[in-house]
């Protein structure tokens, strides 16, 4: 057996061994990553899908503090009226 | 007699079992089909159901089932001499454990990859599910208490092992983050982790001030302390138990990928490393067996206590949970079940075998063995220390100094036990939550309530038994209870496999005989312990905690027996069974998501 063939066999053996030790854990890791992705996508796209954005509820108490800054921002951005139905600054 | 011959004879028996008996079981009893579409293919989802090559799956299965338990049990059972221990390990592995693990895998594969708990529910209904949950609850409580006791004792007797064990925690946390974010292979980092841990172990063995010797800090063995007026050893025990339980509380409430999985990975490397070192050392040192074949003066007798002293290493119900929980969902071909299940059990048998060899060759003379294993209580409390010494002697054959080898062996056992403790408290939390749902106690389903209950019960169990040598010396008394509950779990699994075989019109004797044997031995041994030892009716003073727990386990054992008799004897029950395990499961509807007992 050539040196290259032996090296590739050894690499295959250690690759399989690594795979064997990870087999039991892959599902849990996949689930943890999927949970993080689900939360991210929900935050980004929930309103596009017709679902109220849960962040809106949790940041409700910031509303009075942000109202004036938001009003100034939509005026500067060229919108006379508030573009969001649920933020009624004017 | 030279120990190499004993090991060779046992390994040859394992080989013959694998070559002939497992083939007979695969072809004539379970009748594996190469073209059967396994759940891994039918429900392939890339998460739980993933077809995996058989040797890869075998590696996963073997490293999941082997741990500290096949070391502790055989080391205690050496009290009766190496003959009974080796006979039970070899025969138990070939005719009971192999068939049990293999069968659990096949049964689950033929039922959508569902777990033994779910199958028991389908088979006998809610009663069986509750029975199953209670037995697992007791089994896990015993595992927690015994392993917490084992770790505290090893820390007290091997203070050099503490620092490398502690070091494994930040390394594992770093690993967890590395792997989940970057998807790197873990092999090289885990080998680096081992080098760091073992390097630290060498350092702590030789540099005394790096050893965390609580007994020394409390003034040395025998000195009294301000901590509840306990002596130094008892105070050290109390501190270690509190630290361990605090650790396990935090560890078991973290997501599994953060700490538990990386620790499991490193431990799997340690298992293989340890086995190679011990078998290599055996070949080089070729030691003589100094322990007797049979300790004629042993009281109580080996029969039937041996069968609940060695559970893991001969047969263990826990393997059925692993086989039906994860392995069955990843089996590529049904014919691979023989390699994964049967050979996985042989792997654990090989660990139990080298444990027996290490203890049997540790002593210089037979007289030394007999005085060290003077009574069953003495054997139970000190045997792990003899294994550490014997294993260190074997490792010495490969040029590892005995003191360093002793630290390494203690380190490996503690790492195994600590990871098991983490998994077990996690499982206990799920089971308490499940019982909370069953009995409409919503508070029990809360994570921190369930974990507090799990840790609190473990603390009570580990500190309450009185071993006669001060606070915390009685944890080993729980070992037979662990063995019994483990065997009962195996009994349930064998019962389910036998029922399935009957339904298929096949010969159920290969699973029925081990089931009857296990249940008979378990009930006999537990009755003797409960009635004559713990109740106070015999010569010994009453042990109420053990009496209550033992009685509960005995009750469960009788319950299983009655369920089995009902199912095998009653035509109506057999008909209900036939409907409930209608086979094969041809529907493409995926199975239910993992249940509490399966998740970690």
- State pLDDT tens for residues B277-323: 999 999 999 999 999 999 998 988 998 999 999 999 999 998 998 89
pLDDT at B186: 77
pLDDT at B256: 81
- In A, minimum Cα distance to B257 occurs at A29
Sign of CA dihedral B466, B470, B476, B482: positive
B319 and A CB contact within 8 Å: no
Give the residue among B161, B267, B237, B248 at the shortest CA–CA distance from B464.
B237
| CB-CB under 8 Å, B47 with A27 | yes
How far is C-alpha B328 from the chain's CA centre?
A: 19
pLDDT at B206: 93
Sign of CA dihedral A59, A63, A69, A74: positive
Q: pLDDT category, B596, cuts 50, 70, 90?
A: very low
B63 and A CB contact within 8 Å: yes
Q: Is the pLDDT of residue B148 over 50?
A: yes
Which of B58, B186, B261 is facing A18, going by the closest CB pair?
A: B186
**Distance separating alpha carbons of residues B537 and B224, to the nearest angstrom:** 35
CA distances from A9 to A2, A5, A21, B215, B226 (A): 11, 6, 19, 51, 61
| CB-CB under 8 Å, B261 with A28 | yes
Sign of CA dihedral B27, B28, B30, B32: positive
Give pLDDT tens digits for B327-344. Answer: 899 999 999 999 999 999
Task: Domain ranges for chain A, please list them.
Answer: 3-51, 59-90
B261 and A CB contact within 8 Å: yes
Q: Is the pLDDT of residue B449 over 60?
A: yes
Give pLDDT tens digits for B515-569. Answer: 999 999 989 988 988 888 888 887 778 888 888 988 988 888 888 778 777 877 7
How large is the average pLDDT for residues B498-525?
92
Continuous H helices in B286-335: 302-309, 318-325
Q: Is the pLDDT of residue B405 over 90?
A: yes
| CB-CB under 8 Å, A21 with B50 | no
CA of B230 vs chain A CAs: smallest distance (Å)? 43
- In A, minimum Cα distance to B52 occurs at A23
* Mean pLDDT of the residues in chain B: 88
More confident residue, B596 or B582: B582
pLDDT at B578: 61
B55 and A CB contact within 8 Å: yes
More confident residue, B17 or B504: B17
Contact present, B72 and B298 (Cβ < 8 Å) = no
How large is the average pLDDT for residues A44-53?
79
CA of A81 vs chain B CAs: smallest distance (Å)? 43
| CB-CB under 8 Å, A17 with B265 | no
Contact present, B200 and B212 (Cβ < 8 Å) = no
How far is C-alpha B585 from the chain's CA centre?
A: 31
Q: pLDDT category, B591, cuts 50, 70, 90?
A: low
- In sequence order, the 6+-apart residues with CB closer than 8 A to the CB of A53 are A43, A46, A47
Q: B331 forms bridges with which residues in the sheet?
A: B52
**B-contacting residues of A 9-38, CB under 8 Å?**
14-34
How large is the average pLDDT for residues B204-226?
90
Give pLDDT tens digits for B105-128. Answer: 999 999 989 888 888 877 666 777
pLDDT at B497: 93
B-interface mutation test, from A17, A23, A30, A37, most B Cβ less than 10 A away: A23
Task: Domain ranges for chain B, please list them.
Answer: 3-60+86-462+477-580
Give pLDDT tens digits for B243-288. Answer: 999 999 998 888 888 888 888 888 888 999 999 999 999 999 999 9
pLDDT at B598: 40
| CB-CB under 8 Å, B264 with A20 | no
Please give the model's pTM, rounded to 2 decimal places.
Answer: 0.87
pLDDT at B559: 83
pLDDT at B558: 84
Pull the structure tokens for residue B123: 């088979």
Q: Is the pLDDT of residue A13 over 80?
A: yes
| CB-CB under 8 Å, A14 with B60 | no
Which of B60, B180, B190 is facing A24, going by the closest CB pair?
A: B60
| CB-CB under 8 Å, A22 with B265 | yes
Give the residue among B148, B151, B150, B142 at the shortest CA–CA distance from B428.
B142
Q: Is the pLDDT of residue A1 over 80?
A: no
Q: φ, ψ for residue B295 (rounded to 5)?
A: -90, 95
CATH tag for B3-60+86-462+477-580 (out of 1.10.4160, 1.10.3470, 1.20.1630, 1.10.10): 1.10.4160
Q: pLDDT category, B164, cuts 50, 70, 90?
A: very high
- Range of lowest pLDDT (A57-61, B166-170, B308-312, B372-376): A57-61
- In B, minimum Cα distance to A21 occurs at B60
- Range of lowest pLDDT (B29-33, B403-407, B444-448): B444-448
pLDDT at B157: 92
Burial of B457 (0-12, 13-18, 19+ CB in 10 A): middle
pLDDT at B599: 38
CA of B473 vs chain A CAs: smallest distance (Å)? 36
């Amino acid at each position: 057996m050539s040196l290259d063939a032996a090296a590739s066999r050894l690499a295959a053996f250690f690759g399989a061994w690594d795979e064997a030790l990870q087999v039991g854990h892959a599902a849990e890791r996949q689930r943890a990553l999927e949970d993080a992705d689900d939360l991210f996508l929900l935050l980004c796209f929930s309103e596009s899908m017709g679902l109220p954005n849960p962040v809106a509820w949790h940041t409700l108490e910031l509303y009075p503090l942000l109202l004036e800054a938001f009003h100034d921002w939509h005026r500067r951005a060229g919108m006379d009226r508030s573009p969001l139905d649920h933020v009624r600054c004017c | 007699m030279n120990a190499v011959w004993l090991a060779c004879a046992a390994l040859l028996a394992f080989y013959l079992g694998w070559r002939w008996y497992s083939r007979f079981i695969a072809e004539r009893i379970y009748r594996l089909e190469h073209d059967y579409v396994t759940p891994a293919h039918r429900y392939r989802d890339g998460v739980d159901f993933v077809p995996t090559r058989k040797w890869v799956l075998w590696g996963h299965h073997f490293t999941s089932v082997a741990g500290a338990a096949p070391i502790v049990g055989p080391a205690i059972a050496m009290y009766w001499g190496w003959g009974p221990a080796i006979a039970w390990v070899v025969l138990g592995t070939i005719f009971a454990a192999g068939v049990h693990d293999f069968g659990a895998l096949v049964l689950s594969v033929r039922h959508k990859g569902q777990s033994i708990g779910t199958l028991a529910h389908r088979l006998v209904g809610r009663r069986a599910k509750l029975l199953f949950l209670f037995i697992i609850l007791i089994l896990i409580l015993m595992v927690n208490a015994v392993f917490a006791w084992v770790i505290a004792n090893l820390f007290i007797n091997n203070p050099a092992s503490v620092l490398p064990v502690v070091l494994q925690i930040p390394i594992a946390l770093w690993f967890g983050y590395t792997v989940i974010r970057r998807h790197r292979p873990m092999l090289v980092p885990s080998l680096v982790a081992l080098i760091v841990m073992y390097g630290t172990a060498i350092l702590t063995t030789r540099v005394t001030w790096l050893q965390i010797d609580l007994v020394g800090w409390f003034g040395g063995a025998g000195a009294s302390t301000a901590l509840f007026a306990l002596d130094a050893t008892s105070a050290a025990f109390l501190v270690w138990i509190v630290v361990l339980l605090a650790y396990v509380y935090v560890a078991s409430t973290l997501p599994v990928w953060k700490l538990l999985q990386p620790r499991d990975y490193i431990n799997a490397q340690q298992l293989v490393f340890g086995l190679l070192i011990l078998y290599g050392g055996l070949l080089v040192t070729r030691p003589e067996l100094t322990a007797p074949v049979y300790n004629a003066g042993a009281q109580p007798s080996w029969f039937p206590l041996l069968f609940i002293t060695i559970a893991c290493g001969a047969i263990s119900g826990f393997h059925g949970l692993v086989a039906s929980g994860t392995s069955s969902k990843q089996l590529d071909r049904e014919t691979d079940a023989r390699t994964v299940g049967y050979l996985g059990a042989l792997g654990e048998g090989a660990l139990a075998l080298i444990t027996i060899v290490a203890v049997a060759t540790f002593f210089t003379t037979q007289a030394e063995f007999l005085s060290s294993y003077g009574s069953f209580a003495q054997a139970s409390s000190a045997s792990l220390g003899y294994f550490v010494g014997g294993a260190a002697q074997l490792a010495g054959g490969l040029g590892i100094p005995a003191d360093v080898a002793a630290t390494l062996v203690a380190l490996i056992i503690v790492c195994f036990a600590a990871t098991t403790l983490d998994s077990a408290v996690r499982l206990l939390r799920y089971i308490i939550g499940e019982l909370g749902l069953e009995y409409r106690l919503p508070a029990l389903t809360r994570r921190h309530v369930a974990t507090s209950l799990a840790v609190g019960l473990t603390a009570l169990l580990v500190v309450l038994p009185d071993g006669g040598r001060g606070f915390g010396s009685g944890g080993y008394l729980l070992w037979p209870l662990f063995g019994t509950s483990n065997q009962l779990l195996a009994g349930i699994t064998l019962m389910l496999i036998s029922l399935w075989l009957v339904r298929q019109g096949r010969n159920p004797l290969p699973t029925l005989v081990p089931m009857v044997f296990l249940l008979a031995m378990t009930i006999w041994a537990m009755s003797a312990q409960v009635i004559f030892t713990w109740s106070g009716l015999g010569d010994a003073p009453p042990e109420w905690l053990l009496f209550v727990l033992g009685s509960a386990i005995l009750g469960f054992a009788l319950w299983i027996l009655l369920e089995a008799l009902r199912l095998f004897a009653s035509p109506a029950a057999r008909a209900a069974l036939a409907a409930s395990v209608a086979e094969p499961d041809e529907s493409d509807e995926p199975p239910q998501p993992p249940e509490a007992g399966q998740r970690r």
